[in-house]
Amino acid sequence: MGAVIAAASLALPRPADAIATTVQLAGRAAHDCLTGTGLSPDSVGVLINVGVYRESNTFEPALAAMVQKEAGINLDYLADAVPSAGFSFDLMNGACGVLNAVQVAQALLDTGSTDRVLVTAADVHPGGRAADDPAYPYEDLGGALLLERSTDPGAGFGPVHLRSGPGPTGTSGYLDTAAMGAGGRQLITVEQDADRAGKLLDLAAATVAEYTEEHGLDPERTMVVCSRPTPDFATLLAGRLGLDPASVLAAGLPGSDPERSGEPHTAAPVLGYLTALDGGLPHAYEELLFVTVGAGPSAACASYRLTGR
């Protein structure tokens, strides 16, 4: 284990952007991560893009390949004087993609397959503007995490747990190709069951309780950073787990009305991580517990021990 976050970054559509795209948001977040660390883009061996909703409902190639190009990572193996290879692919598992990618990154780092994994999480409405489609529940948002091996054996991510809940999927996002006409590049349907929030709360609470017990986390010293399927999810999860509400964070978008903004989708853990640190995380917290929950229903959970605490 011992994968640490070397850098994290978010990207929101800029007012000047006509439309938002995964390539642009993930590419910008990836670029900021690399610039912040001073690392060469070519130092990234593997790029995993975990976004679910994408420009024009593109299904080939992996958007990760286009993000790799946008971020200037190992562009042309044959043309480079000193060839170094980058490998990119999309990993999709609804809201849990970032933690799935962390688990995969741990294995890639442990087996010496690469020294650095860049995880990008960007979702955009296929038409390019989430705000124009009132039925679409997510924000146009991109995030990136640069992961590498920790030099401090105690720091970084713990094991990732992934759990499936019972019953119907709760959320289904699809393009109805039998009713799209020639407009399929701009359309998307996301259906959310009315009882979804309660079921996600049950699954998240059970997954956190199991993880906390199995890995002996101290709730007094752990900040829970969770998805935000509803605006009150953090409060409800704290209540269910008997935690101090101040120790559970489900971040909304910076500068937005917390009651009205859409869900940050796959980038939620990146948003939560940056919000927790930007808020001046009290020194009493030595660990974060990332929790993601969504369509499936699936939930994922992973601790993250902060360095220097």
Q: Which of 26, 30, 108, 145 binds other proteins (CB under 8 A)?
A: 108
Q: Which of 36, 59, 154, 218 binds other proteins (CB under 8 A)?
A: 59
Q: Can you tell me the distance from the alpha carbon of 144 to that of 147, in angstroms, rounded to the nearest whole number?
A: 10
- The neighbouring-strand residues paired with 107 are none
Q: Does 175 bind other proteins (CB under 8 A)?
A: yes
| Residue recorded with tokens 């699936």 | 298
In Å, what is the CA distance from 198 to each residue of 84, 130, 190?
48, 25, 18
Q: Which of 30, 104, 121, 226 binds other proteins (CB under 8 A)?
A: 104
Q: Does 43 bind other proteins (CB under 8 A)?
A: no
CB of 247 to other proteins, least distance (A): 28
CB of 135 to other proteins, least distance (A): 15
Phi first, then psi: give them for residue 141, nearest 5 degrees. Answer: -155, 140
CA torsion 296-299-300-304 (nearest 10°) is 150
Q: Does 90 bind other proteins (CB under 8 A)?
A: yes
Q: Does 60 bind other proteins (CB under 8 A)?
A: yes
Q: Does 140 bind other proteins (CB under 8 A)?
A: no
Q: Does 219 bind other proteins (CB under 8 A)?
A: no
Question: Would you give the DSSP letter of residue 167?
Answer: S
Residues 185-214: x/- map of binding to other proteins (CB under 8 A)? x--x--------------------------
User: Three-class SS of residue 226?
Assistant: strand
Sole window of 177-185, 210-218, 233-241, 278-286 interacting with other proteins (rule: CB under 8 A): 177-185
List, as one string, the DSSP characters of 108-137: HHHTTS-SEEEEEEEE--TTS-GGG-TT--
Q: Does 21 bind other proteins (CB under 8 A)?
A: no
Q: Which of 276, 295, 299, 302 binds other proteins (CB under 8 A)?
A: 295
Q: Does 291 bind other proteins (CB under 8 A)?
A: no
Q: Can you tell me the distance from the alpha carbon of 154 to that of 227, in angstroms, rounded to the nearest whole number?
A: 26
